[in-house]
Structure 1
Amino acid sequence: MNQQASPNVLVTILAPDVATQTVTIKDDVARVFDPATDKTLGFNFLQADAIDASLVTNGPVTLTEAQVTALNKHLTAVGFAPELLADNDAKFVVGYVESAEPHPDSDHLLVTKTRVDNDESLQIVSGSPNMQADIYVVVAKVGALMPDGGIIWPGELRGVSSNGMITSGRELHLQNAPQQKGALILPEDFAKVGTPFDFDKGNTLFA
C-alpha cells in the first residue's frame, strides 16, 4: 500500500507482468489480467479499509489467513473468483550452496544447487563474481518482495531455469553493505540452513 499516492488501495500481485494487460473493474475491485490467457496478474482493492480496517498500512503487506478470507469473500461478492491464497512461508532464508557449475551458454553465470532446508534444494542461476560451492548465503525464494520493490519469480537465464535468487548485502539494503556485485557470504555459525534470515542480525555483519 502507498498511502501517499493511493490512500487505502491494496495492490495484490499474483503473477509477473506481461507486455499487454487488461483491467476489469467491478464495484471497488480492479482485476488485472493477461488477455491472451485470461490469467489473473493481480487485484487492486480500491477501498481496502472498507473490507477490513486491519489492512490499512503503508508499504509491504503480509496478509494473514483472516485477511485473505475477507478479501476472497469480497471478490466473490463483487463477481470475481476468490483467487487469493495465504502464504506465510519465509521468503528470505539462510541457504547453503552445495554445487556451482558453469552455465552451458554463459562464461559468467553459474548454475547452483542451493539447499534452503533439509528436504528442499533449489536450482538458482547466479552471476555473482564470488559464487562458489560450500558457502552459506541468503536466498530470496520465489514470491519474495525485495527491498527495492521487485518480486522474485521463477524464470530462466539463457535457457536454464532458476527458482529464487542468491542475494547480496546491497540488494538486501543491509546497513554499510558494500555497494558492488557479489553474494553475501554468511559465517557458518550465522544460523541453521532454512532459518528465516534475521535482517537485524544481518545489519551487524558490516558494522
Structure 2
Amino acid sequence: MNLFYNPTGVGDVAFVQLEVVEGPFEYDKKGDVVVIKKDNQVVGYNIFQAAKSLDIEGTGHIKLTDVLLSDIQNALKTAGIDDKLDVDLSPKFVVGYVKQKDKHPNADKLSVCQIDVGEEVLQIVCGAPNIEQGQKVVVAKVGAVMPSGMLIKDAELRGVASSGMVCSMKELDLPNAPQEKGIMVLEDTYQVGQPFFEE
C-alpha cells in the first residue's frame, strides 16, 4: 500500500494505492472517499478533505505508520466503507546476506541467489556482475518503493521466481554513487535483517 499527498499541486486529496495496475478504472463515490476499482477489485481510494481526517506530514510519497493507517481506516468507515486494510509496515529496505549464488539456467548474465534477510530467506534473481556468495547487501523487499517510484513486486525472470531486488547505490539514490554497474556491498558490521534506512 502506498500513500501520496500533494496539497499544493493537487489539492487536499490523499491518494491511497493498494495495487499498481493500469486503467481504465471504475469509480464509486461515498462521502469524502472515492473507491477506485479495476475489474471489480478495489485498487485504491481518493480521500478528499484529507487534512480533516488524516494527520499527514510532508508531501509526495508519505511513509505509512500505524497511526496513519488507523486514520485512513477511520476515514473509510466514516464514509460508510467496510473495507479492512491489511498492510505490512515492516521495513522494506533491509540488510541481506547472500547464502548461495547459482547460475541462472536460462540467462548467462543472471544469478539466482538465496538471500537471508533475517525473518526469511528470499530467492532473488540478480543481474549485477559483482554479486557473490558471502556478501552483505541491501535488499528491497516486495512492497518497497524505489526512489525512482518503481514498486518492487514478486516477479519471474526468464522462468525463475524472484522476490525482491538487490540494490546498487545508484538505485538507492545515494550520494557519490559509482557509474559502473554493480550492487552495493556492505561492510561486515551491518546486521542481517536490520533496516538499511531509518524508517
TM-score, scaled to structure 1: 0.84
Displacement, 1:84?
2.1
Structure 2 residue runs of 5 or longer lacking an equivalent are none
CA distance in 2 between partners of 1:59 and 1:69 (Å): 20
Q: Is 1:170–1:180's contact at 8 Å kept on the other side of the alignment?
A: no
> What amino acid is aligned across from residue 52 of structure 2 in structure 1?
A
Name 2:45's counterpart in structure 1.
43
| Superposition deviation, residue 3 in structure 1 | 3.1
The aligned residue for residue 204 of structure 1 is none
Task: Please give the residue correspondences for 1:91-170 in structure 2 after superposition, counting only pairs within 5 Å.
Answer: 91-117=92-118, 119-170=119-170
Q: SS of the residue aligned with 2:89?
A: coil
Q: CA RMSD in A?
A: 1.9
Cα distance in 1 between the residues matched to 2:163 and 2:41 = 21
Q: Which residue does 1:59 correspond to in 2?
A: 60
- CA distance in structure 2 between the partners assigned to 1:186 and 1:12 by the alignment: 34
Contact in 2 for aligned 1:96/1:193 (Cα 8 Å): yes
SS in 1 for 2:125: strand
Residue correspondences, number: 194
Instruction: Give the C-alpha shift of residue 55 in structure 1.
Output: 1.8
Q: Which has the higher strand share?
A: 2
Residues 153 and 51 of structure 1: CA distance in aligned 2, closer, same or farther (over 3 Å): same
Q: Distance in 1 between matches of 2:29 and 2:181?
A: 42
Give the aligned partner of residue 33 of structure 2: 29
Describe the SS at the equivalent of 2:86. coil
Task: Report the Cα offset of residue 86 of structure 1.
Answer: 4.4
Q: Structure 1: which 5+ residue stretches go unaligned?
A: 200-207
TM-score (norm 2): 0.87
Whichever residue aligns with residue 30 of structure 2, its letter is K
Q: Deviations over 1:146-200 (max 9, x none)?
A: 11222111121122211111000001011111133211111122x111111147x
Please tell me whether the aligned partners of residues 170 and 178 of structure 1 are also in contact (alpha carbons under 8 angstroms): yes
The 4+ residue runs of structure 1 with deviation greater than 6 A are: none
CA distance in 1, matches of 2:160, 2:70: 37
CA shift in 2, pair 1:9/1:19, >3 Å? closer
